[in-house]
């Protein structure tokens, strides 16, 4: 396959969410696979909707996911600039070409009039469509009014009859009756092009070979093809990707409909403790298949297996359980040092400052026990806190008096103090023996010791914890527990 030139062309109007990120991902995969280029282009022709900071978050999100671009607004490239506002003059030129060749006309209707027409049509249960008033104007008359300073938009002149067939690679031919299409606006009265014109011009100018975009564009797809044909340009390969639906399956995915532990925003997923690898694997599999038994694939592995023919045309419900599963699995695959490094910011955020050495020893202990990086704080935070505060009821042996529990704790402390080498393997045997001599089940006894030493009822294996916590601290925490259970 020839090197593909692909692009991700978001508008800077909101946050990067998994729908957009997945579109970017598929584009990147195709570029990687074919040794082509992935281009980031900003569709900011609607100046009113631009949101401050959106572009920055967008780029940060893509970078975090490892979806790097070879040409873009920040790094430039052979077709700079990569923001559409800055390309205004280019679209103007092309619009005039369409005007000159009779594929477009000037429209002097005001926004207010258009609004009224539309409302009347809707009231009459008709499809809202431009009524063609200015299409009937002679070019000479239109020229005169424009020269007189009357504001106008430029509309595309659609074929009055017949049908248009456009080819989508994932759905096949799509045919629409031209009478159902509208003489849509190419250039606004402020002189800036609308998406439809701007995107087609840019795709052409930038040599885009494949357009992978969301299904929200399927409705205007024939329009875009018509523009390209009016210019006589070569068409890219079109792939309209399926949408993500809410977990409930009712409607397009949105911010609502997810719990506080979930998010559809890439930036929030990162904050929640998800790995970019897991997010990529997860997004990739909702809407495509990679012909592999293994579901957890790196970007390079996915690129090698990516196939435009395996894109799924139907909508997919977002499934957060699967993300959790993938994240846990990716965490378990990480090298210890890698995981330790990734988990550190989450401890810091919780106000803990693990020393590197201890963190490295502790990491294998929580590695199989966490789903998100953030979980490590709950599971292993006690290693880095100066003191623990167990719940008194966790210190009591079920069915026994507080005195007996205290005695057991004390016996453990004495026994542990006598162990010559402070290693978890050496700690376990005497404690098991002690449990037996106290007439307790090991699990019961260990549960109390766990609460005393870790302050938690759930923790990594007890003796590993003791080893890392150290002899002195372990014994001190046992003594504290005795006091908590009651006076001697």
Partner RNA sequence: GCCCCUAUCGUCUAGUGGACCAGGACGCGGCCCUUUCAAGGCCAAAACUGGGGUUCGAAUCCCCAUAGGGGCACCA
Residue ranges of alpha helices (H) inside 373-423 are 375-380, 402-417
User: Which C-beta is closer to RNA: that of 70 or that of 175?
Assistant: 175
Q: Which residues are paired to 185 by β-bridges? A: 155
User: Which C-beta is closer to RNA: that of 257 or that of 271?
Assistant: 257
User: Which C-beta is closer to RNA: that of 195 or that of 233?
Assistant: 195
- Looking at residue 192, the DSSP 8-state letter turns out to be P
CB of 263 to RNA, least distance (A): 17
The Cα 287–Cα 175 span in angstroms is 24
Closest CA to 320 of 253, 367, 369: 253
Edge-to-edge strand list for the sheet holding 185-187:
104-107, 153-156, 185-187
The Cα 127–Cα 268 span in angstroms is 40
CB of 487 to RNA, least distance (A): 28
Provide the pairing of β-strand 153-156 with 185-187.
antiparallel
CB of 89 to RNA, least distance (A): 16
Around Cβ 326, how many Cβ atoms within 10 Å?
22
User: Which C-beta is closer to RNA: that of 57 or that of 182?
Assistant: 182
The Cα 215–Cα 240 span in angstroms is 5
CB of 214 to RNA, least distance (A): 8
User: Which C-beta is closer to RNA: that of 290 or that of 347?
Assistant: 290
User: Which C-beta is closer to RNA: that of 232 or that of 291?
Assistant: 291
Catalytic residue among 123, 157, 246, 255: 255
Around Cβ 191, how many Cβ atoms within 10 Å?
14
Provide the pairing of β-strand 163-168 with 210-214.
unpaired
CB of 225 to RNA, least distance (A): 12
Closest CA to 240 of 305, 181, 169, 173: 169
- State the DSSP H helix or E strand holding residue 37, giving kind and residue range, or none if neither: strand 37-40
CB of 207 to RNA, least distance (A): 20
Provide the pairing of β-strand 185-187 with 244-245.
unpaired
User: Which C-beta is closer to RNA: that of 428 or that of 482?
Assistant: 428
Catalytic residue flag (residue 48): no
CB of 358 to RNA, least distance (A): 18
DSSP letter for each residue of 424-484: HHHHHHHHHHHHHHTT--HHHHHHHHHHHHHS-SS-S-HHHHHHHH-HHHHHHHHHHHHHH
CB 470 within 8 A of CB 422: yes
CB 197 within 8 A of CB 224: no
The Cα 91–Cα 420 span in angstroms is 81
Q: Which residue numbers are catalytic?
A: 255
């Amino acid at each position: 396959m020839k090197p593909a030139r692909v692009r991700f062309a978001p508008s800077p109007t909101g946050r990067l969410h998994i729908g957009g990120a997945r579109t970017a991902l598929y584009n990147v995969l195709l570029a990687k696979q074919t040794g082509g280029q992935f281009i980031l282009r900003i569709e900011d022709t609607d100046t009113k909707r631009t949101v401050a900071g959106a572009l920055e978050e967008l780029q940060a999100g893509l970078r975090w996911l490892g979806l790097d671009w070879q040409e873009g607004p920040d790094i430039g490239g052979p077709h700079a600039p990569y923001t559409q506002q800055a390309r205004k003059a280019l679209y103007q030129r092309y619009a005039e070409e369409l005007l000159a060749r009779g594929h477009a006309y000037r429209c002097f209707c005001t926004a207010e009039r258009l609004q009224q027409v539309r409302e009347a049509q809707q009231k009459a249960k008709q499809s809202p469509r431009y009524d063609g008033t200015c299409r009937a104007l002679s070019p000479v008359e239109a020229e005169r009014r424009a020269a007189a300073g009357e504001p106008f938009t430029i509309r595309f002149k659609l074929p009055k009859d017949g049908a248009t067939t456009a080819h989508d690679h994932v759905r096949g031919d799509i045919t629409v009756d031209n009478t159902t299409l509208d003489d849509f606006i190419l250039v606004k009265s402020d002189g800036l092009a609308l998406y439809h014109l701007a995107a087609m011009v840019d795709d052409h100018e930038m040599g885009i070979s494949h357009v992978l975009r969301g299904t929200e564009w399927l409705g205007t797809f024939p329009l875009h093809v018509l523009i390209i044909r009016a210019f006589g340009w070569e068409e890219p390969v079109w792939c309209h990707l399926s949408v993500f639906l809410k977990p409930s399956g009712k409607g397009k995915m949105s911010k609502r409909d997810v719990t506080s532990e979930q998010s559809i925003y890439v930036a929030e997923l990162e904050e929640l403790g998800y790995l970019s690898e897991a997010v990529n694997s997860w997004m990739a599999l909702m809407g495509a298949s990679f012909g592999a038994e293994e579901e957890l694939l790196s970007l390079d592995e996915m690129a090698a297996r990516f196939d435009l023919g395996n894109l799924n045309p139907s909508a997919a419900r977002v499934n957060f359980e699967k993300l959790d599963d993938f994240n846990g699995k990716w965490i378990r695959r990480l090298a210890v040092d890698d995981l330790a490094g990734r988990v550190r910011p989450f401890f810091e955020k919780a106000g803990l400052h693990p020393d590197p050495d201890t963190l490295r020893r502790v990491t294998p202990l929580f590695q199989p026990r966490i789903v998100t990086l953030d979980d490590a704080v709950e599971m292993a935070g006690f290693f880095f806190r100066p003191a623990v505060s167990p719940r008194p009821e966790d210190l009591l042996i079920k069915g026994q008096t507080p005195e007996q529990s205290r005695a057991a704790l004390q016996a453990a402390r004495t026994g542990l103090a006598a162990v010559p080498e402070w290693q978890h393997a050496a700690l376990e045997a005497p404690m098991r023996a002690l449990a037996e001599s106290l007439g307790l089940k090991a699990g019961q006894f260990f549960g109390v010791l766990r609460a005393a030493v870790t302050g938690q009822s759930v923790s990594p294996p007890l003796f590993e914890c003791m080893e890392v916590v150290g002899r002195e601290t372990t014994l001190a925490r046992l003594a504290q527990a005795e006091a908590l259970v009651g006076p001697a």
